[in-house]
Amino acid sequence: TETRYIMAFESSADETSVAIIKNGDEIVSLETATQIKSHQRFGGIVPEVASRHHIEQVTILADAALEDAQLTYSDLTAIGVTQGPGLVGALLIGVTAAKTIAWAHQLPLVPVLHLAGHISAANFVAPIQYPALALMVSGGHTELVLMREEYDYVVIGDTRDDAAGESYDKVGRTMGLKYPAGKTLDNMAHRGKPNYKLPRALIDDGAYDFSFSGLKSAVINLMHNADQRGETVNHDDLAVSFQEAVVDVLVSKTSQALDHYQVKSFIVAGGVAANRGLRDALTEMMAQRSNIAFIPVPIKLAGDNAAMIGAAVDIAYRHGKRGDWTLNANPALEF
Ligand code: KG4
Ligand code: ZN
């Protein structure tokens, strides 16, 4: 069989990233430019700033990805890109770059969903056995996704308000931490004691949807009330109390879904999949389920990157997905 080389573009938020992936599961090159520093002073991503950085970086990174791989465009099988969801202006840079390169080099163009990309990072760890379940936890999404077979995605649970990562970022902002606050809070949690009592929304409702805005508000109110009374809050203790509430809900819902659906693999993916508290709790929960392969995506590939997009593009390419020259970014794209 022929070797496939996919060049993939990711530009949905604050990382510009280009990768070349061999046969869907090998990273030949991966070039990423992060813009976090440019957004930090605003406390979150500024869409216009993001778009400008993507434009500056995208062709530089594409050239670097080819050079690092020691390949030319004639070696490539297809060009793939994140079509959505994300910031429309940011997505447009990746989509336009991918379309232009695909057109100029007469290569197939393959659009994919950003979330399918996150889940496909599991392919770099082990081949996914189907049916599979994925817990997709990022700054914009918190979903349980059932894959009865390859390239078949069914959302069985979703957040009704904030995403898990978003709640980390908002709690962190209230504590005066830099954006994005997930990793910092994760580190603080490992120094603290879970002394604060916080809500676990929807934990026993028998369904798979999530809600994190009540928890976020509870943390913010707790800090505000302490401030009014002139009391001090131990931020490390609050961080671990908050983290345990998030992790309890994520693990409980996942465990209920695994009880209900007979799957062969379970994947945890997305930026929040880098969380040590979550990884430890899921590892413990999965220890009792030795018949299911547990595949946490590598910590380095949990956050946004083009390697995961390349893995998803390889799957979509094999299933015949193609974009034409009218392909447009779709900020609200869903499974
Ligand atoms: O997947 P991602 O890079 O971008 C989106 O598609 O949203 O996820 C970014 C999110 C941010 O909210 C960030 O705070 C969170 O992932 N995050 C973490 C950790 N590392 C990143 N949250 C909790 N613990 C972490 N260690
Ligand atoms: Zn993402």
pLDDT, one tens digit per residue, over 259-302 is 999 999 999 999 999 999 999 999 999 999 999 999 999 999 99
Would the CB of 274 count as within 6 Å of ligand 1?
yes
Is residue 265, in this structure, part of any structural domain at all?
A: yes
Is residue 330, in this structure, part of any structural domain at all?
A: no
Would the CB of 136 count as within 6 Å of ligand 1?
no
Q: Are 7 and 101 in contact (CB under 8 A)?
A: yes
95 and 224 within one domain? no
Is residue 327, in this structure, part of any structural domain at all?
A: no
Please tell me the predicted confidence (pLDDT) of residue 2: 87
258 and 145 within one domain? yes
Is residue 275, in this structure, part of any structural domain at all?
A: yes
Is residue 133, in this structure, part of any structural domain at all?
A: yes
151 and 244 within one domain? yes
150 and 274 within one domain? yes
CA of 114 to the centre of ligand 2 (A): 6
CA of 279 to the centre of ligand 1 (A): 14
308 and 229 within one domain? no
Give the residue from 125, 88, 75 showing the smallest Cα distance to 269.
125
Whether ipTM > 0.85 holds is yes
Residues placed in the known binding site for Fe cation: 114, 118, 304
Question: What is the distance between the alpha carbons of residues 167 and 7, in angstroms, rounded to a whole number?
Answer: 33
Is residue 270, in this structure, part of any structural domain at all?
A: yes
Would the CB of 277 count as within 6 Å of ligand 1?
no
Q: Are 4 and 24 in contact (CB under 8 A)?
A: yes
Q: Are 98 and 9 in contact (CB under 8 A)?
A: yes
Task: Please report how many Cα atoms fall inside a 13 Å half-sphere around the Cα of residue 250, on the Cβ side.
Answer: 31
The domain that contains 115 carries what CATH number? 3.30.420.40
307 and 161 within one domain? no
**Could you say which DSSP state residue 207 is in?**
S
Please tell me the predicted confidence (pLDDT) of residue 43: 87
CB atoms within 10 A of CB 103: 12
Is residue 280, in this structure, part of any structural domain at all?
A: yes
Would the CB of 140 count as within 6 Å of ligand 1?
yes
Give the residue from 205, 206, 281, 288 showing the smallest Cα distance to 250.
281
Question: What is the distance between the alpha carbons of residues 135 and 126, in angstroms, rounded to a whole number?
Answer: 16
279 and 172 within one domain? yes
**How does pLDDT run across 158-201, given as a tens digit for each residue?**
999 999 999 999 999 999 999 999 999 999 999 999 999 999 99
253 and 195 within one domain? yes
269 and 159 within one domain? yes
Would the CB of 139 count as within 6 Å of ligand 1?
yes
The total number of structural domains that make up the chain: 2
Q: Are 175 and 223 in contact (CB under 8 A)?
A: yes
pTM listed for this prediction: 0.97
Q: Minimum-distance ligand to the CA of 165?
A: 1
pLDDT along the chain (335 residues), means of 10: 94 97 98 93 90 96 98 98 98 98 98 98 98 97 98 98 97 95 98 98 94 97 96 97 98 98 98 98 97 98 98 98 98 96
148 and 78 within one domain? no
CA of 29 to the centre of ligand 1 (A): 23
314 and 291 within one domain? no
CA of 164 to the centre of ligand 2 (A): 12
Q: Which atom of ligand 1 is nearest to the CA of 187?
A: 26
Name the strands in the sheet holding 265-269, side by side, starting at the edge strand that comes first in the sequence.
154-158, 142-147, 132-137, 265-269, 293-296
Would the CB of 308 count as within 6 Å of ligand 1?
no
CA of 100 to the centre of ligand 1 (A): 31
Indicate which residue's Cα is closest to atom 14 of ligand 1: 182
204 and 106 within one domain? no
Is residue 333, in this structure, part of any structural domain at all?
A: no
Sign of the dihedral defined by the CA atoms of residues 19, 22, 23, 26, in that order: negative
Domain boundaries, position 38: 5-119+302-318
